[in-house]
């Protein structure tokens, strides 16, 4: 006890504690403790036995857990070895010539049997690799598997690294050697699961033990897909450089080797920066690994590739269909470009062969006087499903890759007005409300900016309702409508319908279609109204198959965006267009009700027509780009009126007369007009305060107003009455109402307003039916 007391006292007096560095202190500790025990003259009773009894159970448990853990690890290891031996023994190497086939993807019309063409027709030429310069194979080794000549078919570290990255980042990285890639492509097909990768690794090891490295590398080079529809190094050499593989330079071999992981996406023609980056990497590794000298590496220059020439399947109009199918599947993120080019899929489209042949025939027409620069785009859609039945995108894809249906844009003009009618219906405005249809009328087109807005050809229509204003495409009425809606709300309605293109929200002119759209986009928006308010995404792919397995079906994103009755009111207003309005005669020519709307671009640089029956929609547009893509005026040709605005409705009649010939005549839904004349606040149009009579509009012939002289208008106007020459312009045609029992009673007018005048004469129609023309007026000009 005395020694213990001294030890404590020495620490209190500043003595250093025992450390690993003070060896004498460490040695003194046990000695002191032993002497303290002896000086007591006693041995603590049972102390040794208690100490031993306390420690022995602890050591026993610790050893037991280690034994269990080692047993589990050993068992798993033995099971893994056994499984590996079993899989190795039962895995056979199949005959490569039977399975080394990358299949093209075939595209079919809607019947599933008539081919349109294929994506990446297979292009492979097997060569004897002994004729190749050694650096061709070395470039591929440098790019894909630096340990190829030394590994046993697999790279354990590479696989572990890829597994770690996949588990920690959620990415899909490969740790495959050339032999594994060869096994996958040559024997197994694509493997992405871990079980598949295990089988791939075992097969690679077996191949490495049964085939020499030169054989494996040669088969790999003859098998690998290298972009541009080329399978194997020989086809790739021809596709990129127009020469045989035996004549490739070091730089050319390095370029091809570098893009192996994603050859279509990294094609120098598509992505030169990535291709150059990969080229530099391969040259660097070839120098580091001794395949080329420092001088050869320094002199290596990124090679110039030849322009990609598309296969014959893309010649003529079929190229537009094939490229549209490919884009739709890639944009849906269902397949990559490489997968479509090598996957061997069967794609069944929504395109009807007979309708496609007819729309192509109609669109290819070139009437006398039509300028060669004039472009035509068209589409036919089943609005009930969103299925595209036919499209006119151009005459020859190899001559012009720009798709006139899905890519080229034009100003749609007044074909955008029906979305304003949806807004009026949603605002509880009766379509019997009278508006001032005279020309010009002044509006605050943008905040603080006032401008006079004319009608086409400066015609004043007097006081007319929304149905009559729609049929005759009266600008001043729709500008008034947009004053109440606001440009922001109008744009939102158009977007709700499905239009994805930009629509300005800072000007009243947006209701006159001043923003450029594609034919596809315009059809998407109108198809929602035609389908009674239910929006379906337009699509050309019906399904994708791999053997008997369904691989893809389109997501229609079916959404109810408008009330059915609101759409029925708009359809009813559009019926007047084809009966007595800007496309008069179209309905009678088809022998059935047709809803339609014509449009003219700002400064007459484009014209369009949207029309549909309850079963089928058809949209056409024409525009006239200049040599640098600038907008040019569409000239008058073949008697289709000022800026040939009657030609799109002519194309519609030509196509639809065949398309609906065997379809039963169907009626549009009746529309119940329960809106308030003058709107809920009585400030729409000429005003009013009473609710509509609940008139049920049907598909019968409507009433046409006569253009009114300026002095009879409710506000002063300097616009002249339409001359005979002006009335011969297609849009301004005002045929006499047909007599007979199908003519309904005149629509109800508010008692406090002057009724719209009825037609007193019927100028002769011009060829091709309707259209609309703004002449050199200010229509659509902000």
Per-residue pLDDT tens digits for 129-143: 999 999 999 999 999
- Residues 494 and 423: their CA atoms lie apart, in Å, by 10
Average pLDDT of the segment spanning 68-90: 63
Cβ-count burial 234-258 (b if 16+ within 10 Å, e if not) = bbbbbbbbeeebbebbbbbbbbbbb
770: pLDDT confidence band, cut at 50, 70 and 90? very low
Give the residue, 489 or 231, on which the prediction is more confident.
489
- Residues 743 and 733: their CA atoms lie apart, in Å, by 19
- Residues 656 and 363: their CA atoms lie apart, in Å, by 13
768: pLDDT confidence band, cut at 50, 70 and 90? very low
Q: What is the pLDDT of residue 121?
A: 56
Q: What is the pLDDT of residue 166?
A: 52
DSSP SS3 for 689? coil
Q: What is the pLDDT of residue 146?
A: 92
Six token digits for residue 592: 């059935």
List, in sequence order, every residue forming a beta bridge with 619; answer none if it has no partner: 379, 610
Q: What is the pLDDT of residue 114?
A: 97
Give the residue, 529 or 310, on which the prediction is more confident.
529
Q: What is the pLDDT of residue 387?
A: 98
Give 690-734 pLDDT, tens digit per residue. Answer: 555 556 666 655 566 666 544 333 333 333 333 323 323 334 333
pLDDT exceeds 80 at position 547 = yes
Where would I find the H helices in 289-387? 294-299, 318-331, 337-342, 353-363
380 closest CA partner among 361, 365, 367: 361
Determine whether 320 is exposed, middle or buried from the number of CB atoms within 10 Å of its CB (0-12, 13-18, 19+): buried
Give the residue, 638 or 770, on which the prediction is more confident.
638
Give 83-113 pLDDT, tens digit per residue. Answer: 555 554 544 544 444 445 567 899 999 999 9
pLDDT exceeds 80 at position 265 = yes
Domains belonging to the chain, first-starting first, are: 122-299 (1.10.3810.10), 413-538+551-732 (3.40.710.10)
Q: Which helix (H) or strand (E) holds 247?
A: none
**Of 144-153, 178-187, 331-340, 494-503, which one has max mean pLDDT?**
494-503
Count of residues in the chain? 782
Q: What is the pLDDT of residue 143?
A: 94
pLDDT exceeds 70 at position 519 = yes
Q: What is the pLDDT of residue 537?
A: 98
Please tell me whether the peptide bond between 440 and the residue prior to it is cis, using omega within 30 degrees of 0. yes
- Residues 395 and 315: their CA atoms lie apart, in Å, by 9
Measured torsion, CA atoms of residues 353, 356, 360, 363, in degrees rounded to the nearest 10: 160
Give the residue, 379 or 154, on which the prediction is more confident.
379
List, in sequence order, every residue forming a beta bridge with 545; answer none if it has no partner: 346, 550
Q: What is the pLDDT of residue 598?
A: 97
778: pLDDT confidence band, cut at 50, 70 and 90? very low
- Residues 65 and 68: their CA atoms lie apart, in Å, by 5
149: pLDDT confidence band, cut at 50, 70 and 90? confident
Give 435-490 pLDDT, tens digit per residue. Answer: 999 999 999 999 999 999 999 989 999 999 999 999 999 999 999 999 999 999 99
Average pLDDT of the segment spanning 576-584: 96
- Give the least confident one: 257-266, 502-511, 687-696, 743-752: 743-752
- Residues 489 and 548: their CA atoms lie apart, in Å, by 48
pLDDT exceeds 70 at position 4 = no
Average pLDDT of the segment spanning 509-532: 98
Average pLDDT of the segment spanning 732-750: 33
**Of 389-393, 626-630, 703-707, 753-757, which one has max mean pLDDT?**
389-393
Give 406-437 pLDDT, tens digit per residue. Answer: 999 999 999 999 999 999 999 999 999 999 99
Q: Look at the block and give the residue holding tokens 């009766």.
A: 430
> What's the DSSP call for residue 401?
-
Six token digits for residue 728: 């011969």
Q: What is the pLDDT of residue 629?
A: 85
pLDDT exceeds 90 at position 210 = no
Six token digits for residue 367: 């009437």
The count of other CB atoms within 10 Å of the CB of residue 772 is: 35
Instruction: State the Cα angle at 460 between 459 and 461, rounded to 5°.
Output: 115
Determine whether 271 is exposed, middle or buried from the number of CB atoms within 10 Å of its CB (0-12, 13-18, 19+): middle
- Give the least confident one: 273-282, 363-372, 732-741: 732-741
List, in sequence order, every residue forming a beta bridge with 631; answer none if it has no partner: 625
pLDDT exceeds 90 at position 362 = yes
Q: What is the pLDDT of residue 451?
A: 96
- Residues 17 and 159: their CA atoms lie apart, in Å, by 53
- Residues 520 and 527: their CA atoms lie apart, in Å, by 10
Average pLDDT of the segment spanning 235-259: 97
Average pLDDT of the segment spanning 599-612: 94
Give the residue, 727 or 673, on which the prediction is more confident.
673
Average pLDDT of the segment spanning 679-685: 93
> Mean pLDDT over all residues of the chain?
80
Q: What is the pLDDT of residue 729?
A: 32
497 closest CA partner among 431, 416, 553: 416
16: pLDDT confidence band, cut at 50, 70 and 90? very low
Q: What is the pLDDT of residue 583?
A: 96
Average pLDDT of the segment spanning 611-617: 98
Give the residue, 155 or 465, on which the prediction is more confident.
465
Q: Over the Cα atoms of the chain, what is R_g?
A: 40
393 neighbors 324 (Cβ within 8 angstroms): yes
pLDDT exceeds 60 at position 394 = yes
pLDDT exceeds 80 at position 650 = yes
- Residues 199 and 180: their CA atoms lie apart, in Å, by 10
The count of other CB atoms within 10 Å of the CB of residue 525 is: 26
């Amino acid at each position: 006890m005395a020694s213990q007391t001294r030890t404590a006292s020495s620490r209190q007096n500043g003595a250093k504690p025992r450390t690993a560095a003070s060896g004498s202190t460490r040695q003194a500790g046990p000695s002191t403790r032993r002497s303290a025990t002896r000086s007591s003259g006693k041995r603590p009773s049972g102390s040794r036995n208690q100490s031993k009894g306390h420690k022995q159970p602890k050591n026993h448990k610790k050893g037991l857990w280690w034994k269990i853990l080692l047993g589990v690890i050993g068992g798993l290891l033995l099971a893994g070895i056994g499984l590996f031996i079993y899989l190795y023994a039962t895995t056979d190497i199949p005959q490569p010539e039977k399975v080394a086939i990358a299949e093209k993807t075939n595209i079919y019309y809607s019947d599933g049997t008539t081919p349109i063409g294929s994506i990446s027709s297979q292009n492979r030429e097997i060569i004897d690799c002994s004729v190749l310069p050694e650096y061709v194979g070395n470039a591929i080794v440098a790019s894909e598997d630096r340990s190829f000549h030394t590994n046993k078919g697999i790279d354990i570290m590479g696989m572990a690294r890829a597994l770690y990255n996949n588990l920690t980042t959620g990415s899909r990285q490969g740790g495959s050697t050339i032999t594994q890639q060869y096994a996958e492509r040559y024997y197994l097909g694509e493997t992405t699961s871990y079980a598949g990768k295990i089988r791939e690794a075992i097969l690679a090891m077996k191949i490495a033990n049964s085939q020499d490295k030169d054989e494996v590398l040669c088969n790999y080079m003859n098998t690998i897909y290298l972009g541009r529809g080329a399978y194997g190094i020989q086809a790739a050499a021809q596709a990129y450089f127009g020469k045989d593989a035996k004549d490739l330079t070091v730089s050319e071999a390095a370029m091809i080797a570098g893009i192996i992981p994603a050859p279509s996406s990294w094609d120098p023609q598509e992505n030169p920066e990535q291709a150059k980056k990969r080229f530099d990497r391969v040259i660097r590794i070839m120098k580091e690994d001794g395949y080329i000298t420092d001088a050869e590496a320094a002199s290596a220059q990124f090679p110039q590739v030849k322009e990609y020439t598309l296969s014959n399947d893309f010649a003529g109009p079929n190229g537009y269909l094939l490229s549209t199918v490919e884009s739709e599947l890639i944009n849906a993120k269902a397949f990559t470009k490489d997968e479509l080019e090598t996957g061997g899929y069967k794609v069944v489209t929504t395109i009807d062969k007979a309708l496609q042949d007819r729309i192509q025939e109609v669109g290819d027409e070139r009437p006398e006087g039509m300028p060669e620069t004039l472009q035509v785009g068209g589409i036919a859609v089943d609005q009930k499903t969103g299925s595209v039945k036919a499209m006119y995108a151009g005459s020859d894809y190899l001559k012009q890759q720009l798709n006139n249906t899905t890519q080229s844009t034009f100003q749609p003009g007044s074909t955008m007005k029906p979305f304003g009618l949806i807004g009026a219906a949603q605002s509880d405005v009766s379509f019997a409300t009278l508006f001032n249809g005279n020309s010009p009328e002044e509006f605050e087109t943008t905040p603080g900016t006032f401008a006079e807005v004319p009608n086409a050809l400066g015609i004043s229509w007097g006081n007319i309702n929304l149905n009559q204003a729609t049929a005759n495409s009266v600008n001043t009425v729709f500008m008034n409508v947009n004053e109440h809606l606001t440009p922001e709300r109008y744009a939102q309605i158009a977007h709700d319908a499905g239009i994805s293109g930009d629509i300005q929200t800072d000007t009243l002119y947006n209701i006159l279609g001043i923003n450029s759209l594609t034919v596809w986009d315009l059809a998407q928006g109108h198809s929602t109204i035609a389908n009674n308010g239910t929006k379906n995404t337009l699509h050309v792919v019906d399904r994708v198959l791999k053997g008997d397995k369904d691989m893809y079906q389109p997501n229609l994103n079916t959404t109810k965006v408008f009330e059915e009755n609101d759409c029925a009111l708009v359809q009813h207003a559009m019926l007047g267009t084809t009966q007595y309005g800007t496309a008069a005669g179209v309905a009678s020519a088809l022998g059935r009700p047709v809803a339609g709307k014509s449009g003219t671009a700002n400064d007459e640089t484009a014209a369009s027509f949207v029309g549909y029956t309850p079963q089928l929609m058809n949209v056409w547009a024409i525009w006239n780009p200049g040599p640098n893509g600038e907008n040019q005026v569409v000239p008058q040709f073949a008697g289709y009126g000022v800026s040939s605005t009657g030609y799109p409705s002519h194309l519609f009649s030509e196509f639809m007369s065949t398309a609906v010939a065997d379809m039963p005549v169907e009626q549009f839904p009746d529309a119940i007009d329960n809106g308030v004349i003058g709107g809920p606040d009585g400030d729409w149009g000429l005003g009013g305060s009473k609710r509509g009579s609940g008139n049920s509009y049907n598909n019968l012939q409507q009433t046409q107003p006569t253009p009114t002289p300026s002095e009879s208008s409710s506000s002063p106007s300097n616009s002249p009455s339409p001359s005979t020459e002006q009335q011969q312009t297609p849009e301004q045609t005002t045929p006499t109402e047909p007599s007979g029992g199908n003519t309904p009673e005149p629509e109800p007018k508010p008692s406090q307003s002057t009724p719209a005048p009825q037609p007193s004469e019927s100028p002769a129609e011009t060829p091709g039916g309707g259209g609309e023309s703004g002449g050199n007026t200010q229509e659509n000009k902000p």
